[in-house]
Structure 1
């Protein structure tokens, strides 16, 4: 046999071997999940994965039946019936619309989204990821994610660019179709009650005169006013003032226990000198619980005693300081551990046709087809369209989700150095909770 033919056979066999190894790796990779990571590291991420039995795409999932034990399904939620809205009322299709996507957030949100797919017992038939990022690692991650989940689709939006060279959100709503109900979800939603999507969808279906229905969003300026000052859900917390022994600032290798009961009590040699406008003490710091009578030393109490109160209550901006947001997050995790999320709940609250943030809302495709979204989508849904149609926009207080933070709460702003909430360990805590209770588990399985 000639030397050239031998060389040709060797090349073919080598290519087949490499292709086989690629297929084996691809099939096994889908069974793994990300346990922790850093968005600003160039270190190889392969060592961060741990084995996790996954929900197989397209496979039926056995949703556990409601138990007589009230702790089985958190907060009295029940698996939804897709026909609960009655004949002719439920939209033909319910589609999630995620404005994405920063990998550090979407990698947590993904667990909640998959849990809420129809095949896993939830209500979402499909999830559209609207790509609104320009970091290479985010773009690669979104392509990989949407390639591996059948119900996920990825869309790029086009139109006149904004100042930061990204397309305006309003362009994405041109993808909406009549006869479909949409749930718009921000990519930095880090917790979602099982009943959240069901509840806002049902309220929208039952109240077609509402332009949109928002969930009860923890760390949204308007909702924060309700939960903090009217429902009294915020607990006394302050950041630790010095780096503790054994501290590890490494999201890639170090996971934390999300439970507030594992936190030490707050101590400081400098008394209570942390203010609402202070910068983060160090990257990766924790907020620690104070005594019951020490709430008046905290940022959340301070904002209620300053002229800022009108801004926190009425402004359409992202004003709420990172310090108040951090206190709310750690308070939420404490109530989550204790099974006390009922403290945050109310029936509904009607927006007064002023511009608000829309982190998690249900709306009708019919509305945006007839009345195309223009300009800021939050202003459109909460102010312009309700005024134009003489209809309302409401908050469903029974549907709880958690929003991590606005750009002003997660980056240097107002002369305050540091990255605000990004300099806490909150992302690790929400990732830890999702890993324990949400990832790879069907709708209705225990959340606590």
Structure 2
């Protein structure tokens, strides 16, 4: 009884801001963990019911659309965080231009996927690519609403929002258990219908935001009178946001290109094996993503300009915590994967264990690089990050082309490790370049 009272009094002595932050992070962590479990179970059901070859075809097609999807919006959701972090309520002047920017980039992205499906894609992938086109709209909707919720610091709504996608996709995977005759095309249709529902749900919220309906947090009350400031041109928005767009586009290429190249260079079965391993890594990477992208990012943009001392304190503590937790998670992954993978996915996916053993090296590397890159936020930093991400993506592609023909999915795993390490080195180099006095 005394121990419980002591614990309560200890929490009660924490500053109110700390208690709010811990509560928000806890909710986001729980939602992230639940989302990761749902995504993992969805992947396991699809892999078991479709088999390595058909699952590999579906996974590589989904990866192709996912890689291109960030071209819709082209970094605008990320740029909103920077604009509002610096300008506060004055950032509303960008909204009308944003709507035109979103419309043009989305039409271009949908056209690009459609053209590729007929001109460059293998014949067996063409139907799935066309069926998965609405994923572009769903990805854009999720990204835009997520940025809005971050700016409003509505962390509980953010937690619910991030559960909708994995929860809905889980229902599609369960349908395969109920009706075993369903195939990958049914899954593609199901995922696309979910994306269309997201887009329809997000549209009225986004239109309301475009009319100034955002409830911006951390910049004082809404001004009673309209703020001076002319709406910038689309060309001006493009000149400032392109780096955010390239980074958002390069990241899925950097992360998922191995699955696509395995399908093109080696076959559907090998792509299925690596797709399973990559899905596990994606679930693990939600840990640093939750802390930095969903909770801290809008705050870091604000602190970088208005409270540098707090910004650097959060950076240093975060880097240490990310490295320690990354090492711990990697060790757990190596220990549990040999017995857990066959149980969940079946014996035919046992090669996934060897791939995960190699990819475990990426865990502490990714955790630390997420923390390091959090100090590179403005336009100049983003241009550097784009170059670093581009070079790392090129390295992953080159290593894949060299290693996949001989080592198959293990070659793709080695290429992924090389890319993650090179990205961490580049991010640290950027930190030393732009913040030499702050680097410890």
TM-score in terms of structure 2 length: 0.29
Larger radius of gyration: 1
TM-score in terms of structure 1 length: 0.28
